[in-house]
Amino acid sequence: MKKLLLFVLLLVCGNAISQDYKITYLKSSNGSLIENQDPILAFTSSEVTQIGSQSIFNGKADFPNEIIFVDRRTNSFSQVANLDATKTINSKDSVSLGKQTFEYLNDTKKILGYNCKKAKTIVNSNNIELWYTNELKVKGAPTILGQNLGLVLEMVRNGNFVIKATNIEKIKMFPTDPDLSKSIDMLTYKDLLWKSRFTTINVFKDQIINFSSESKSNDSILRFANGTIAVRKIRIPEIKVGSQIFVDVTEQSNGDAYDRTGSFFIIPNNKTLSFLDGLQNGAKTLPIYNNGNGKEYQGVVATENYNPIVELMRFFTPFGVKQYNNLQLKDKTWTENVLYRQDVSDLRSLLSNQEVWIGINIGNYDKGGHKVSANITIHNEEESKVTPKQIVPLFCTNNIMKMAGQEYGTMFSSDKGLEVTFKLDKPMKNCKLRYITTGHGGWENGDEFVPKKNTIFLDGKETFSFTPWRLDCGSYRLSNPASGNFPNGLSSSDYSRANWCPGTVTNPIFIDLGDLEAGNHNIQIKIPQGLPEGSSFSSWNISGVLLGE
């Protein structure tokens, strides 16, 4: 009888010691609570802790969402992510908790009536202060950090960001432990969780862009200009106003050793004629622009029945990355490829909820050419006050069909330069010209290596002028193994150029045009293009899109 009574007493005492708690935490920044936040909840007992947002534990969280499960019996933790309604992943870490180190201080204070001690540590150059109590006989924290200190009730990062407990309550029912039976490595876990946070549209994968009569189209990818252009029709979902849209291209040489002009572009098809007609039927079927110098320029300006391409991204290949990495130089390790990535959120209305023709081009004359992959990623924002933009394609002199006879952009040799007239059916406010420009051709005295002023006229009045130039080309030497080296100690890829470098993106600039009334308007671009030198000549690849509200 005495043994039975002792057992009951131990059981009761054990239950009292192993009380479970729910702690609610809120975040503050610079002394003010962050508005509309989803509180952090920590459920903790003597053996385990679960951490996640309030919406997750209430079953109302959006996907993806994540909880942390701490197991003190093994001094380990698992991260568990619900990527969607059917897919859950997890990864276990048995090392990190044991490696946490802290400096213990003599400071004390009360939080929610409990006496707390202070510890501090440094994480990625951030100073972290933690206030913890041992009075509740359990351990836990709102993050992985400090799980073994005691019950952390406040964390302060760099003195201005605070996560602080606002409520502690005893609970009778603990959340069900997550299923940890199928664990994956942490690197894979983090990668899958990261990718689930945005939408990826794969446009091209290891696509060869070369120059060969053997280049052929297939059911999904059309190839033109002897393989130097690849085009696909892509369905793009609806994109919320204010969301971020990025494009990325990965490139490596598949044989070509030279720096080349590349373009990742949209083919507008909202008029009678499109650039796709020119690809399928020849450049001569596109509208002709004449500026009085005796040459005909195909498909470069908008007309009543035609829109030129819209460049998502202008990029430039380096000298032979990957294919020529065997050309060794002391203390230089060549990159395996080049990644170009750019924000194109301003072009949302050309992409959202549409089926669009998207193409990629690298001008080259090599049978091996280049290998490229290209994607569009959509990163949704919850709410935005951004005003949707109207988009009017205006011009593009980048002769993407160069290998199929499209004329170079040499129209700037005359005083007229490039001129386009366009009509607005209704007024547009806060208009901007999204303008990309790069100079090409010639040798020492060619426009590729000589600064030249670009001047933009709107309705006959000079609106803006600047000299596009890049001084940082030497920064990309490790992407240019086949770049020629000169007696002065420089490599060809080091030299400054007319707004581009081998291995870089050329960003658009945005030129304010003000409010435009309905009716006809005229934009003119003038550049003092250099004169030909023997068989060498200069040209300019410019493209422009009108953006407005």
DSSP 43-104: EE-SSEEEEEEHHHHTT-PPSSEEEEEEETTTTEEEEEEE-SSS-EEEEEESSHHHH---EE
Fold of 18-193: outer membrane lipoprotein receptor (LolB), chain A (2.50.20)
What integer is the mean pLDDT of 296-314?
A: 98
Query: What pLDDT shows up at residue 296?
Result: 97
Q: Is residue 342 pLDDT above 70, yes or no?
A: yes
Q: Is residue 11 pLDDT above 90, yes or no?
A: no
Q: Is residue 100 pLDDT above 60, yes or no?
A: yes
What integer is the mean pLDDT of 517-525?
A: 98
Fold of 198-548: Jelly Rolls (2.60.120)
Query: What pLDDT shows up at residue 131?
Result: 98
3-class SS of residue 247: strand
pLDDT tens profile 501-510: 999 999 999 9
Query: What pLDDT shows up at residue 445?
Result: 86
Rg (CA), the chain: 31
Q: Is residue 185 pLDDT above 70, yes or no?
A: yes
What letter represents residue 22's amino acid? Answer: K
The torsion angles phi and psi of 268, rounded to 5 degrees, stand at: -60, 140
Beta bridge partners of 68: 51, 79
The torsion angles phi and psi of 336, rounded to 5 degrees, stand at: -85, -25
What integer is the mean pLDDT of 90-102?
A: 97
**How many angstroms separate the CA atoms of 435 and 433, rounded?**
6
Query: What pLDDT shows up at residue 340?
Result: 98
What is the residue-wise DSSP string for 376-390?
EEEE--S---PPPPE
Query: What pLDDT shows up at residue 382?
Result: 72
Q: Where are the domains of the chain?
A: 18-193, 198-548
What integer is the mean pLDDT of 392-412?
A: 97
pLDDT tens profile 422-447: 999 999 999 999 999 999 997 778 99
| Under 8 Å between Cβ of 505 and 340 | yes
Query: What pLDDT shows up at residue 18?
Result: 67
More confident: 381 or 155: 155
- pTM of this structure: 0.91
Query: What pLDDT shows up at residue 381?
Result: 84
CB atoms within 10 A of CB 408: 18
Q: Is residue 10 pLDDT above 50, yes or no?
A: no
Query: What pLDDT shows up at residue 17?
Result: 52
What letter represents residue 461's amino acid? Answer: K
Beta bridge partners of 139: none
Peptide bond into 318 cis (omega under 30): no
What integer is the mean pLDDT of 148-158?
A: 98
Given pLDDT bands bounded at 50, 70 and 90, which one contains residue 9? very low
Weakest mean pLDDT among 10-24, 67-81, 288-302? 10-24
Dihedral of the CA atoms 397, 400, 403, 405 (nearest 10)?
Answer: -40
Average pLDDT, the chain: 95
